[in-house]
Amino acid sequence: MNVFQKVLKRIKGDETLAEERYGEDKLWIAGSDEGKTLKFNDIVYSRIIKNSIYTGYYWDYFTPLPSLYKKPKVLMIGLGGGTVAMQLTRIYKKGIKVDTVEINEKIIKLAKKFLGNDAKKFKILLDDGAKYIKRASGYDVVILDAYEADYIPEVFLGEEFVKDAFNALSDDGILAINYALNFKAFINLQSYLYRLERLFKVYEIRPLLSGNIIVIASKRLEKEAIVEQIKKNFKMTKENHGVIEQYEGMKSSKE
């Protein structure tokens, strides 16, 4: 049984710990003795495993990226329950600055309950991520994990957002994207990668047993440099060694 299967077995999500209504949709926190999830209806937006930084799922694949920089400054568009922001602030502690942008006030309210004291370790901004990034600058890593149900809003797939993200990054910055492969997203994938390739060096990580692709769009760094710095600066553990292996095996989007 692999890590992801163990996670699914452990996290039953039986008990409702908190709930918010968003029109006809339900935002809620489900918990068990082993951990908890934040859900939009039945779609898991965030997960926390008890006594672990890692989840065994796609959130973990963003965690090595700040290790490429001495004092990393990270922007996350789409808060969800804040899994990634929690992971980054726990791993890098005071050496990292994390800003998160979320358009839905009810998600922010629920995320603060979901995270507890961890929510105080990073900045949460109520704003439209597509507008915020136009005035942003100097971020080493921009993480895009913004979803409406199970779709990335169209505004984040267009040429304008790609240019704005490029301009918001430091000279050797990286845009990292959680791209969920539902039917519509699969059809649009190649055109989206093409837009990114016009400005970035683009690589793909495909986590095992996942319907997600992690797209790594780098302004300057080649794969070899990214992997070398991660292996040098990111501490390997039993829980994250598979993540590092996936970076070693990531492929150019043009392959």
Which residue, chain included where needed, has tokens 């990335």? Answer: 152
Give pLDDT, residue 23. 84
Give pLDDT, residue 207. 83
Among 221, 207, 184, which residue's Cα sits nearest to residue 60? 207
> How many domains does the structure of the chain reveal?
1
Asked whether residue 123 is domain-assigned, the answer is yes
Asked whether residue 34 is domain-assigned, the answer is no
- Can you tell me the distance from the alpha carbon of 5 to that of 7, in angstroms, rounded to the nearest whole number? 5
Q: Determine contact, residues 81/104, Cβ cutoff 8 Å.
A: no
Give pLDDT, residue 12. 46
Asked whether residue 41 is domain-assigned, the answer is no
- Can you tell me the distance from the alpha carbon of 107 to that of 127, in angstroms, rounded to the nearest whole number? 12
Q: Determine contact, residues 186/206, Cβ cutoff 8 Å.
A: no
Q: pTM of the full predicted structure?
A: 0.92
Which residue, chain included where needed, has tokens 């440099």? Answer: 225
Asked whether residue 177 is domain-assigned, the answer is yes
Q: 133 is written with which tokens?
A: 């990034």
Question: Cβ contacts of residue 33 below 8 Å, gap of 6+?
Answer: 50
Which residue, chain included where needed, has tokens 């996350």? Answer: 76
The pLDDT of residue 5 is above 70: no
> Could you tell me the CATH number of the domain that includes residue 200?
3.40.50.150
pLDDT tier for residue 9 given thresholds of 50, 70 and 90: very low
Give pLDDT, residue 14. 61
Asked whether residue 185 is domain-assigned, the answer is yes
| Per-residue pLDDT tens over the stretch 172-230 | 999 999 999 888 888 999 999 999 999 999 999 998 767 899 999 999 999 999 999 99
Please state whether beta strands 97-102 and 73-77 pair in parallel, antiparallel, or not at all (unpaired): parallel
Amino acid at 123: K
Asked whether residue 180 is domain-assigned, the answer is yes
pLDDT tier for residue 75 given thresholds of 50, 70 and 90: very high
Amino acid at 103: I
Asked whether residue 224 is domain-assigned, the answer is yes
- Can you tell me the distance from the alpha carbon of 76 to that of 229, in angstroms, rounded to the nearest whole number? 22
Asked whether residue 5 is domain-assigned, the answer is no
Q: Write the DSSP assignment of the chain as a string of letters.
A: --HHHHHHHH----EEEEEEEETTEEEEEEEETTEEEEEETTEEEEEEETT-S--SSGGGGGTTGGGGSSS-EEEEE--TT-HHHHHHHHHHGGG-EEEEEES-HHHHHHHHHHHGGGGGGSEEEES-HHHHGGG---EEEEEE---BTTB--GGGTSHHHHHHHHHHEEEEEEEEEEEE--HHHHHHHHHHHHHHHTTSEEEEE--TT-SEEEEEEESS--HHHHHHHHHHHSPP-TTTHHHHHHHHT-EETT-
Q: Provide the residue range defining the domain that includes 248.
A: 54-252
Q: Mean per-residue pLDDT for 86-115? A: 96
